Structure 1
Amino acid sequence: MLSTVENTAVRACLAGGRHLRERFGREVDAEFSRYDVKSAADRASEERMLDVIRDSHPDHAVYAEESGDVSVGGEYRWVVDPLDGTNNFVSGLPSFATAAAVLDDDGPAIGCVYVPVSDDLYVARRGGGVRYDGDYVSADGDVPTEKATVAFVIGHDVKRDGRLDDAAAMQAALGDATKRVVESWSPCVHWGALARGRLDGVVCFHPDDEEQHVGELLASEAGASTARPGDGVYVAATTPAVRDDLIAAVR
């Protein structure tokens, strides 16, 4: 059953992502708010992803970022992000992705991320590792913390409920401890980079579920060292030493 679900997740992410690639750089049809942006491309990608999922698994529960709960009940629950990195997309920056996570009673079982511009495909299965463009990868690394590049992820609620000062303090502390901190506008892209050891760590502060479910599955199945050192904080890194240093920094 999971093989069929995995195949559907891949097809859904490709359907949405290929449509985004066709539209990228040619449109700015978007609605901007103080803390977020929504584009017509989000909705178009989501429609294509949902068509694939519902055709294959009409009995599954589905939550999509733009539509909310599309269906409920069933053995599995999908969490769909049709455009992770909308700000980047409308700004003409190529760092964006489509993503889907499939959850059961034990948490994320399947995860897929597709980065359209670079044509990168990540697929993770609980207990089955991570494949990048068909080949198994791991989050191995030997870069010390002071030379590390890490991504910092904050959820939308952090921007809305007055915790931006806390986030800024954490980001500054990470900057003091590492070589470079990437402020992530497209977490799924960075989760993929961590899964193949191209990024040394990811630190999340009250992240959004649409990216976090698939991100944590990629991290764990790629063998990253992970921890939850505090309320709303999640840390993943290529080595236990880097992980522990990142935890110390954000504390």
Structure 2
Amino acid sequence: MTVPAAFSTVPAGLRELLALASEAALAAGRLHRRSRSRTLRLATKSSPTDLVSQVDREAEELIVAMLLGARPHDAILAEEGAAESGSSGVRWLVDPLDGTTNFVYGYPGTAVSIAAEVDGRPAVGVVYDSTAGRLYQGVAAVATCDGRPLRTRRPDGLATALAATGFGYSPALRRRQAATFARLADRIRDIRRGGSAALDLCHLAAGRVDLFWERGLAPW
């Protein structure tokens, strides 16, 4: 896959990781779209509200196969259980379907999220919005959406800020998040809750929201 011109000054090794992550994210996103009319087999994980479907698992298998097929010595940590140790110094962090509840209900806001750490430090990130068909890519201080550079907004203060948030799956975590929500509700312009933390962060980078907070997020 061709890497956007915005990344022309990025070291070649990171551009290669970005291209591979982008190819895998697009492939998993195509699986999302093909699966929208399927009958889903659902299970729960950490709580009754924490859903997983066969599409989550199939997308993860596809991504892992593509990453390790190209780079067999890399490590992987993925949401649905894939965990491979590696010797290259590169570790992939994978969420094959962020926004599973949205996917189950046919609600917009699903994504593939793939990141690469190099020697323990975040290096490359890709998020594919499989509902809207947008590809977000980032390396260091450079971030793009469909090849166009992104810019954050600078609100005048908290009172004019549009916030995004999400809620974890455990009841205790949700109560803590709700308490924070209540403290902020009358101090900011408004709040959005989309159901995909990966997309919330992309919206932050694109200037569509001014701040994002959520408790209990996983590395992916």
The verdict on a shared fold, with TM-score over 0.5 as the criterion, is yes
Quote how far apart the aligned CAs of 1:68 are: 3.3
Counterpart position of 1:64: 78
Counterpart position of 1:93: 107
| Partners of 1:64 and 1:130 in 2: CA distance | 23
Quote how far apart the aligned CAs of 1:21 are: 1.2
1:197 correspondence with 2:210: no
Of the three residues 41, 61, 68, the one matched with 1:29 is: 41
Give the secondary-structure state (helix, strand or coil) at the position aligned to 1:34.
Answer: coil
Of the three residues 150, 166, 169, the one matched with 1:153 is: 166
Aligned residues: 206
| Partners of 2:198 and 2:104 in 1: CA distance | 17
Quote how far apart the aligned CAs of 1:88 are: 0.5
Counterpart position of 1:121: 135
Q: Which range moves more in the overlay, 188-197 or 66-75? A: 66-75
| CA gap 1:92/1:143 in 2 versus in 1, 3 angstroms | farther
Of the three residues 93, 97, 101, the one matched with 1:83 is: 97
Quote how far apart the aligned CAs of 1:25 are: 4.4
| CA gap 1:174/1:28 in 2 versus in 1, 3 angstroms | farther
Counterpart position of 1:54: 68
Give the TM-score normalised by the residue count of structure 1.
0.76
| CA gap 1:198/1:163 in 2 versus in 1, 3 angstroms | closer
Quote how far apart the aligned CAs of 1:155 are: 4.1
* Unaligned runs of at least 5 residues, structure 1: 211-251
* Contact 2:167/2:173, CA 8 A, preserved across alignment: no
Quote how far apart the aligned CAs of 1:44 are: 1.1
| Partners of 2:73 and 2:120 in 1: CA distance | 19
Of the three residues 152, 161, 175, the one matched with 2:185 is: 175
Of the three residues 86, 105, 109, the one matched with 2:123 is: 109
Q: Which range moves more in the overlay, 71-80 or 130-139? A: 71-80
* Identical columns (%): 30
Give the secondary-structure state (helix, strand or coil) at the position aligned to 2:214.
Answer: strand
Opposite residue 149 of structure 2, the aligned amino acid is Y
Q: Deviations over 1:186-206 (max 9, x none)?
A: 111111111110111101223
Counterpart position of 1:163: 173
What is the root-mean-square deviation of aligned Cα atoms in Å?
A: 1.8
Q: Which has the higher helix share?
A: 1
Give the TM-score normalised by the residue count of structure 2.
0.86
* Contact 1:155/1:208, CA 8 A, preserved across alignment: no
Counterpart position of 1:141: 154
| Partners of 2:82 and 2:168 in 1: CA distance | 17
* Unaligned runs of at least 5 residues, structure 2: 1-12
Q: Which range moves more in the overlay, 79-88 or 66-75? A: 66-75
| Partners of 1:23 and 1:83 in 2: CA distance | 12
Give the secondary-structure state (helix, strand or coil) at the position aligned to 1:209.
Answer: coil
Counterpart position of 1:207: 217
Opposite residue 29 of structure 1, the aligned amino acid is R
